[in-house]
Amino acid sequence: MVSYKRLNPEDVQFSGAVLSEEPCPVREEVPAPEPEEASLLPRRPRCSVTTCLLVIGALLLLLCGGWLLGMFWLHRPSNQQPHRPPPPAPARTPESQVETGVNDTAAASRREACSLIPEAWRFDCYPERAVVVTRELCEARNCCFIPASAAARPSGRNGIPWCFYPQDFPSYSLVSINDTSLGQKGTLVREVKTYYPADILTLEVEIRHETDTRLRVRITDPSSPRFEVPISVPAAAKKADSPDYIVELSKSPFGLIVKRSSTGVVLLNTTVAPLFYADQFLQLSTSLQSQFIYGLGEHRATFLHDLHWNTLTMWARDVPPTEQTNLYGAHPFYLAMEDGGNAHGFFLLNSNAMDVALQPAPALTWRTIGGILDFYVFLGPDPASVIGQYVEVVGYPAMPVYWALGYHLCRWGYKTSNSTWEVVKSLRNYGIPQDVQWNDIDYMDQFLDFTFDPTKFGTLPDLVKDLHAHDQRYVMILDPGISSSQPEGSYWPYDEGLRRNVFIKDAEGKTLIGKVWPGLTAYPDFSDDVTHEWWYDNLQRFHEKVPFDGLWIDMNEPSNFLDGSTNGCPSNSLENPPYTPGVLGGLLRAKTVCATAQQKQSVHYNMHSLYGLMEAKASASALKRILAKRPFVISRSTFPSQGMFSGHWLGDNRSQWKDLYSSIAGILTFNLLGIPLVGADICGFSEEPEEELCVRWTQLGAFYPFTRNHNAIDMEPQDPTAFSPLARTAMKQALLLRYSLFPVLYTLFHHAHVHGHTVARPLMFEFPKDVRTYGIDKQFLWGKSLLVTPVLDPGVDYVDGYFPEGLWYDYYTGDSLRSKGEDLRLHAPLDKINLHLRDGSITPTQNAMTSQVLHSNVEATYITVETASFYGVKQEPSRVLVNSQDAAFTYRPNQVLTVAELGLNLSQNFTISWM
| CB within 8 Å of 392: residues ≥ 6 apart | 214, 234, 756
**119 touches 148 (CB < 8 A):** yes
C-alpha count within 13 angstroms, C-beta hemisphere, residue 562:
18
> Which residues are registered as beta bridge partners of 337?
343
Residue 131: how many CA atoms within 13 Å on its side-chain side?
18
Is 780:667 a contact under the CB 8 Å cutoff? yes
Contact indicator for 902, 865 with CB cutoff of 8 Å: yes
| Sheet of strand 473-478, all strands in order from the earlier edge strand to the far edge | 678-679, 647-649, 633-635, 550-553, 473-478, 436-439, 407-409, 707-709, 681-682
Q: Are the C-beta atoms of residues 349 and 311 closer than 8 Å to each other?
A: no
Question: For residue 76, is it left (φ>0), alpha (ψ between -120 and 50) or beta?
Answer: beta
Q: Which residue, 446, 445, 462, is CA-closest to 454?
A: 445
Sign of CA dihedral 192, 193, 194, 195: negative
C-alpha dist (Å) from residue 822 to 776, 793, 800: 13, 21, 10
Q: Is 340 within 8 Å of 771 (Cβ atoms)?
A: no
Q: How remote is the C-alpha of 462 from its chain's centroid?
A: 40
Q: Which of 279, 442, 449, 554 is catalytic?
A: 554
Angle at 675 between CA 631 and CA 662, to 5 degrees: 125
Closest listed residue to residue 481, CA positions, set 561, 424, 398, 569: 561
The DSSP line for 190-228 is: E-S--SSSSB--EEEEEEEEEETTEEEEEEE-TTS----
554 catalytic? Reply is yes
Q: Taking CA 290 as the corner, what is the angle to CA 248 and CA 287, rounded to the nearest 5 degrees?
A: 40
Q: Is residue 628 a contact partner of residue 547, using CB atoms and an 8 Å limit?
A: no
Identified catalytic residue from 449, 557, 575, 766: 557
How much is the CA Rg of the chain, to the nearest whole Å? 31
Helices 611-627, 529-543: crossing angle, 10 deg rounding: 50
Maximum separation of any 2 CA atoms in the chain, in Å:
113
Task: State in Å, rounded, how far the first CA of the chain is from the last one.
Answer: 86
Do 654 and 685 form a contact (C-beta atoms < 8 A)?
A: yes
Q: Which helix (H) or strand (E) holds 745?
A: helix 742-755
Q: Which residues are catalytic?
A: 554, 557
